[in-house]
């Protein structure tokens, strides 16, 4: 990498001040933000010492799975900070395409995932599916998708939940449509996922969403999704079941956090390899010992994470008011043995769903000076990363954004070990699908 290319790559993730401070700490460099700024504006040619170059190069993550050692290829749509990707990489999958529109999530993603030369990064998926242009025909859209998204075996997508308008599809809109979903799901981001599946026909997919997807818009949303996947020629695992829905998986089996998500796993019907696959089998690979909250929490954190007296008073009074009414609303206080509530994207506002107990005595008056010292605190972003399974106390996961953005990212993400388990269950079927597809093409 040339020096300018190296700096350009890193400035997609970090700012000049961070890089200058990092170099000062790592190699005693006197390089300052202003110098880097002048280089990038073309006012002078970059001039790094060997030590500075080596230190900066270490910030670029290297791919763990490449063409030489990968078992299958996948794409990562609505990728967030790569939680689903991380699970599938652990099973030997290589990511060849990523799409994520949030610029802060993109920074965190690029800081943590090394990409092989085959990888492509895209921001707005609609620029590839052409879903925002009604004049584009199906064939034109599919051709554009094939030109921009590489071939892959598995499609991963944590798409947003949006209602479908399925009533009154006009004849005009349906004329010339080879696929019914082109009308039934238009205007939603699931439409873009369906278009990519129709164009590339991956052997399998994993779609993730909130548990309430099943009841969203009185069940219409889920009904259209399942009908679309069937129309596209895929068998969704555990479509029919008795008792508890195996498609809804709770993260508390893997980390100390109650977090239910619906996971749709599908295999192409024509490959005929889906028989016997069920998400019920995830019970067989739940770890005997999962991390406890004590494993996640740090004993010494910055005072800025302790709630201010004013905010703690507000949350305390709010909880007392609802307790008096017989409601369950209020903050969630955790200790080393707790199972936390679901971390949300709004955690940065007050942290109320998961507050770390620092010895608050509920038997004392609120204004007791000694007790006020023990006000609870928020989780730090690094503790959130551990709670979501992105890292353990090795803390190799990099967080290059502000605390506010980090809280949003982790609150919107998935529990990584859940998807590592899903990937482990799927891998034998993915490999059978790849083999069946090859045999089918040879026969043709």
Mean pLDDT of 219-240: 93
Cβ atoms of 411 and 433 within 8 Å: the answer is no
Q: Given this model, what pLDDT does residue 159 score? A: 84
- Same domain for 395 and 420, yes or no, is no
| Catalytic site includes residue 183 | no
pLDDT in tens, 15-49: 999 999 999 999 999 999 999 999 999 999 999 99
Answer yes or no: do 191 and 324 share one domain.
no
Looking at residue 305, its pLDDT comes to 98
Q: How far apart are the first and last CA of the chain?
A: 44
Q: State the pLDDT at residue 393.
A: 77
Mutual angle of helices 3-11 and 16-27, in 10-degree steps = 120
Shared-domain flag, residues 89 and 102: yes
Give yes or no: residues 150 and 174 share one domain: yes
Name which of 133-142, 278-287, 409-418 the model is least confident about: 133-142
Give 344-406 as a DSSP string.
-TTHHHH-TTSEE-----TTS-TT-HHHHTT--EEPPHHHHHHHTTS--TT------S-HHHH
Asked if residue 64 is part of any domain, the answer here is: no
Q: What mean pLDDT comes out for the span 278-283?
A: 97
Encoding tokens for residue 134? Answer: 């009604």
| 236 pLDDT more than 90 | yes
Whether residues 421 and 406 share a domain: the answer is: no
Are 374 and 435 in the same domain? no
Q: How far is CA 59 from CA 62, 158, 273, 396, 397, in A?
A: 9, 27, 41, 12, 12
CATH number of the CATH domain containing 99 = 3.40.50.150
Residue 103 has pLDDT above 70, yes or no: yes
Residue 65 lies in a domain: no
Average pLDDT for 130-156: 94
> What's the confidence (pLDDT) of residue 171?
41
Question: Sorting pLDDT into bands at 50, 70 and 90, what band is 392?
Answer: confident
Q: Would 272 be classed as within a structural domain?
A: yes
DSSP string covering 195-245: HHHHHH--SEEEEEEEGGGGTGGGGHHHHHHHHHHHHTTEEETTSS-SSS-
For the chain, what's the residue count?
A: 444
Question: Looking at the structure, do residues 421 and 362 belong to the same domain, yes or no?
Answer: no
Query: Are 229 and 320 found together in one domain?
Result: no
Flag whether pLDDT at 444 surpasses 70. no
pLDDT-derived band at 168, boundaries 50, 70, 90: very low
Answer whether residue 185 shows pLDDT above 80.
no
In a domain, 333, yes or no: yes
The answer to whether the CB of 111 falls within 8 A of the CB of 13 is: yes
**Is residue 220 in some structural domain?**
yes
Residue at 227 is within a domain: yes
- Alpha carbon distances (Å) from 201 to 146, 198, 425: 11, 6, 21
Does residue 265 sit within a domain?
A: yes
Give me the pLDDT at residue 178, please.
62
For residues 161 and 216, what is the distance between their CA atoms, to the nearest angstrom?
A: 8
Place of tokens 């005072």: 303
**Catalytic pick among 95, 161, 183, 384:** 161
pLDDT at 167: 38
Does 109 fall in a domain?
yes
Give exposure, 334-355, as e/b (b: 16+ Cβ within 10 Å): beeebebbbbbeebbebbbbbb
- In the predicted structure, residue 413 carries a pLDDT above the cut 80: yes
* Least confident segment among 173-177, 196-200, 302-306, 431-435: 173-177
407 and 420 within one domain: no
> Are 106 and 120 contained in the same domain?
yes
pLDDT at 284 (0 to 100): 95
Contact status, residue 68 vs residue 99, Cβ threshold 8 Å: no
Instruction: Tell me, yes or no, whether 203 and 298 share the same domain.
Output: no
Residue 172's pLDDT band (boundaries 50, 70, 90)?
Answer: very low
Q: Does residue 212 sit in the same domain as residue 262? A: yes
Range of the domain at 318: 293-411
Query: Residue 169 has what pLDDT?
Result: 41
What share of the chain in percent tops pLDDT 90?
80
Structural domain total, the chain: 3
Residue 12 pLDDT greater than 50, yes or no: yes
CATH number (domain holding residue 344):
3.90.120.30
Whether residue 166 has pLDDT greater than 70:
no
pTM above 0.85, yes or no: yes
Q: Are 269 and 235 in contact (CB under 8 A)?
A: yes
CA neighbor of 107 nearest in space, from 175, 143, 44, 59: 59
Q: What is the mean pLDDT of the chain?
A: 92
Q: At what angle do helices 138-148 and 189-200 cross, to 10 degrees?
A: 80
């Amino acid at each position: 990498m040339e020096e300018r290319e190296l700096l350009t790559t890193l400035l997609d993730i970090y700012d000049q001040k961070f890089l200058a401070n990092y170099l000062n700490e790592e190699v005693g460099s006197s390089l300052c933000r202003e110098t880097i700024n002048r280089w990038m504006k073309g006012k002078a040619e970059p001039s790094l010492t060997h030590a500075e170059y080596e230190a900066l190069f270490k910030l670029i993550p290297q791919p763990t799975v490449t063409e030489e050692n990968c078992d299958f290829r996948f794409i990562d749509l609505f990728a967030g900070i790569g939680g689903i990707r991380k699970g599938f990489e652990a099973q030997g999958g290589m990511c060849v395409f990523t799409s994520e529109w949030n610029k802060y999530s993109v920074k965190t993603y690029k800081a943590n995932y090394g990409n092989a030369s085959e990888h492509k990064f895209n921001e707005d998926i609609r620029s590839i599916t052409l879903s925002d242009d009604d004049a584009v025909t199906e064939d034109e859209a599919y051709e554009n998708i094939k030109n921009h998204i590489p071939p892959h075996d598995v499609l991963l997508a944590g798409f947003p939940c949006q209602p479908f308008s399925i009533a009154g599809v006009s004849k005009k809109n349906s004329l010339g449509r080879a696929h019914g979903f082109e009308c039934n799901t238009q205007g939603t981001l699931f439409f873009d996922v369906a278009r990519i599946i129709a164009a590339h026909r991956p052997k399998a997919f994993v779609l993730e969403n909130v548990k309430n997807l099943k009841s969203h818009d009185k069940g219409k949303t889920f009904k259209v999704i399942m009908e679309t996947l069937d129309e596209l020629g895929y068998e969704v695992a555990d479509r029919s079941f008795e008792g508890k829905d195996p498609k809804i998986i709770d993260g508390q089996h893997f980390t100390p956090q109650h977090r239910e998500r619906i996971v749709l796993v599908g295999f192409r019907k024509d490959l005929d390899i889906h028989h016997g696959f069920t998400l019920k089998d995830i019970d067989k690979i739940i770890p005997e010992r999962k991390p406890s909250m004590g494993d996640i929490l740090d004993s010494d954190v910055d005072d800025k994470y302790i709630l201010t007296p004013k905010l703690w008073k507000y949350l305390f009074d709010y909880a007392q008011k609802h307790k008096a009414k017989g409601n369950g609303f209020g903050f969630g206080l955790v200790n080393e043995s707790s199972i936390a509530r679901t971390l949300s994207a709004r955690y940065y506002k007050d942290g109320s769903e998961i507050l770390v107990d620092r010895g608050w005595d509920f038997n004392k008056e609120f204004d007791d000076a000694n007790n006020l010292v023990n006000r609870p605190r928020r989780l730090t972003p690094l503790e959130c990363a551990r709670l979501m399974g992105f890292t353990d106390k090795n803390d190799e996961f990099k967080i290059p954004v502000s605390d506010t953005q980090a809280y949003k990212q982790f609150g919107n993400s998935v529990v990584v070990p859940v998807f590592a388990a899903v990937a482990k269950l799927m891998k034998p079927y993915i490999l059978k699908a790849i083999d069946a597809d090859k045999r089918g093409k040879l026969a043709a």
